[in-house]
Amino acid sequence: MPALPTRPFGSVGAVPVVGQGTWEMQTDQAASIAALRRGLDLGLTHIDTAEMYGEGACEEIVAEAIADRRDEVFLVSKVLPENASRAGTVRACEQSLRRLRTDRLDCYLLHWRGQHPLAETLAGFEALLAAGKIRSFGVSNFDVDDLDELARLVPLERCACNQVLLHLEQRYAEGALLERCRRHGMALVAYSPLGQGQLVRPGRDATARRAVLEEVARAHGATPHAVALAFLLRMPGVVVIPKASSVAHVDDNAMAAQLALTPGEITRIDAVFPSRGRRLAYV
């Protein structure tokens, strides 16, 4: 398989357009480790985890998967909002590093906004940067007004990414939010890009939606899931982090990086999955 295309990730470099999520991987550890390693073999080197996932268990699974391959990986973890004071952010990161059995994260994110002032969390990030424990910082679940507030504290160019909900059935982030991220060189990292495994929600249009995805998939010898990821990747500035705990799913997701949808196919998918205006909400 050819090398995966990449997209910029703030000022720290670039990541492959398809990465790997890790939420709920604690339910099948051995399969998840095998899947993550298969992903690395295929170039899916952006691995996303969080102290929240399995209360640290997912970070330990990632540690096992990358033990002999740390330098291949662009490793991202997240601090929970309740820990995101200045001192709490540093402490949480150090605990993540211990569970991940590494000395640095490539990016460290605020998982979503909570009670602690953003300035506190930023001070924690700055201390971690100065200590070489993180190479960059980013945010997650930030809407445009949250980015406005962040911009009053730090140039947005210093924030490497905004990780937000984005899939075929929930396309809010494609609008002003993506535009804002792009303008400042922040990657928009699409989480739950497969709708948590449910590409098409039950409802009136479900049959038509499924039919379009299946037809497009057949034309490319791909699956509807790969088509769904490729549809998100049509937008510059976007990278996706599907979670897969089976090697077959990882193979499928990696294909999405090479799948070029035609303008006609994009129009057809767009027509059956109309963009939604709802604000971002943490799921």
Q: Which residues does the annotation mark as catalytic?
A: 53
Comparison of 59 and 265: residue with beta carbon closer to ligand NAP:
59
Indicate which single residue of 245, 259, 261, 265 sits in contact with ligand NAP (rule: CB under 6 A). Answer: 245
For position 193 contacting ligand NAP by CB under 6 A, the verdict is yes
For position 23 contacting ligand NAP by CB under 6 A, the verdict is yes
Indicate which single residue of 8, 10, 16, 21 sits in contact with ligand NAP (rule: CB under 6 A). Answer: 21
SS3 of residue 47 by DSSP: strand
Backbone angles phi, psi at 191, to 5 degrees: -95, 160
The secondary structure of 215-274 as a DSSP string is: HHHHHHT--HHHHHHHHHHTSTTEEE--B--SHHHHHHHHHHTT----HHHHHHHHHHSP
Comparison of 1 and 131: residue with beta carbon closer to ligand NAP:
1
Comparison of 85 and 163: residue with beta carbon closer to ligand NAP:
163
For position 26 contacting ligand NAP by CB under 6 A, the verdict is no
For position 209 contacting ligand NAP by CB under 6 A, the verdict is no
Tell which residue, 193, 114, 184, has the closest CA to residue 147. 184
Q: How far is the CB of 32 from ligand NAP (least distance, A)?
A: 8
Residue holding tokens 């399995």?
A: 54
Do 281 and 172 contact (CB within 8 A), yes or no? no
Backbone angles phi, psi at 109, to 5 degrees: -115, 150
Considering only residues 72 through 101, tell me which ones interact with ligand NAP, judged by CB under 6 A: none
SS3 of residue 28 by DSSP: coil
For position 141 contacting ligand NAP by CB under 6 A, the verdict is yes
CA-CA distance, 233 to 187, in Å (whole number)?
12
CA-CA distance, 99 to 77, in Å (whole number)?
11
Comparison of 97 and 227: residue with beta carbon closer to ligand NAP:
227
Q: How far is the CB of 48 from ligand NAP (least distance, A)?
A: 4
**Site mask, ligand NAP, residues 40-59, x = CB under 6 A?**
--------x-----------
Strand 137-140 versus strand 74-79 pairing type: unpaired
CA-CA distance, 270 to 264, in Å (whole number)?
10
Stretch near ligand NAP under the rule CB under 6 A, chosen from 65-73, 88-96, 205-213, 237-245: 237-245
Q: How far is the CB of 116 from ligand NAP (least distance, A)?
A: 17
Interface residues toward ligand NAP, by CB under 6 A: 21-23, 48, 111-112, 140-141, 163, 191-197, 225, 241-246, 249, 252-253, 282
